Amino acid sequence: MRQWISLLLEHEVGTVLQDEPMSKYTTWKIGGPADALIIPESTSQLQQLIRILHTERVPWLLVGKGSNMLVSDKGIRGAVIKLGKGFETAEFRGTEVEAGGGASFVSLSIQAGKRCLTGLEFASGIPGTVGGAVYMNAGAHGSDVSRIFKSAEIVLETGELVKYEAEDMRFGYRRSVLQEQKGIVAGTVFSLAEGDGAVIHSSMTAFKDRRRQTQPLQLPCAGSVFRNPPGDHAARLIEAAGLKGLRVGGAEVSTLHANFIVNNGQATAGDVLTLIQTIKETIQQQNGIALVPEVFLVGER
């Protein structure tokens, strides 16, 4: 047993699973084993866990619902952290909601809607955690996290707990400071507004119906694979290039939404990576546009 895993078990930082298949934790259902997957249940456990990994110089990454991540077939060397149920909290106070980093973003939007609070409607179709949404400045339907974000408690890579206000996050299109300065969102506060319950419900229903009609949700996938280039849409470019339905092994460019790659049952990370590279090269040659992946590629190559 690795020394650092022994230390984690000794200090009771949460559940520690060794050689855990990452395919169980990604929406693509793809990924080899992680050396260890750790599930802390409290901020104090998370801080202790990070301190040990920092001291032992063990590389780590966080997985939320695994909806924006492609894990290599060889798996992940080091530690993978997944926030436990203790981070799935949501407490509403007036027009503000304090949510744990592991809370479902979709569930949070539904709870807000039931309280006639507006601002989170766009989240009704984003299948990730609150922490992941903050990390990516997730958005849809003309809105994003930056528009409702008030503050967050973040555990830095040293184990220090800090509070970041909106100006500290340096939000941009699908970006935040956390992509440059490593840290984990333990909890966040969103600022919403009172709204018309019927209007909120109508908007969320429309978003849900549109998502169901235009996205291949019946198959394992990871949402949009590429970011939209300025003034255009990745899906339009990919479809215009005739790449819908292109297959490599068990991976396929969705025939329903060209910016989705689906797992038809036995896809490997290698299959998906080959498709991503083919798409990038084709669009570059035909349009002179360099598509940028929105999904994170992680693990041993």
The model's confidence at residue 9, banded by pLDDT at 50, 70 and 90, is very high
- Convert the pLDDT of each residue in 165-217 to its tens digit: 999 999 998 899 999 999 999 999 999 999 999 999 999 998 888 888 888 98
CB 186 within 8 A of CB 102: no
Positions marked active-site: 174, 224, 294
Asked if residues 121 and 200 have their Cβ atoms less than 8 Å apart, the reply is yes
Q: Give the pLDDT confidence score for residue 157 in this predicted structure.
A: 95
Residues 116 and 120: their CA atoms lie apart, in Å, by: 11
Q: What pLDDT is attached to residue 59? A: 96
Residue type, 71: V
| Tens-place pLDDT, residues 133-164 | 999 999 888 899 999 999 999 999 999 999 99
Q: What is the pLDDT of residue 287?
A: 97
Report the relative pairing of strands 117-118 and 96-100 from DSSP bridges.
Answer: unpaired
> Of 62-66, 169-173, 204-208, 263-267, which range is least confident?
204-208
Q: Which of 189, 267, 185 is nearest to 222 (CA)?
A: 267
| pTM over the 0.85 mark | yes
Q: What is the mean pLDDT of the chain?
A: 95
Confidence tier at 1 by pLDDT (50, 70, 90): low
Q: Which domains does the chain have, with CATH numbers?
A: 3-82 (3.30.43.10), 88-200 (3.30.465.10), 215-298 (3.90.78.10)
Please give the backbone phi and psi of residue 37, each rounded to the nearest 5 degrees, phi first.
-115, 125
Please enumerate in sequence order all residues whose Cβ is within 8 A of that of 44, keeping only pairs 6 or more positions apart, or say none: none
Given the DSSP bridges, would you call strands 143-144 and 149-156 parallel, antiparallel or unpaired?
Answer: unpaired
The pLDDT score that the predictor gives to residue 77 is 96
pLDDT score for 124: 87
Q: Give the SS3 label for residue 147.
A: helix
The confidence score (pLDDT) of residue 67 equals 85
Triad 108, 145, 67: Cα angle to 5°: 65
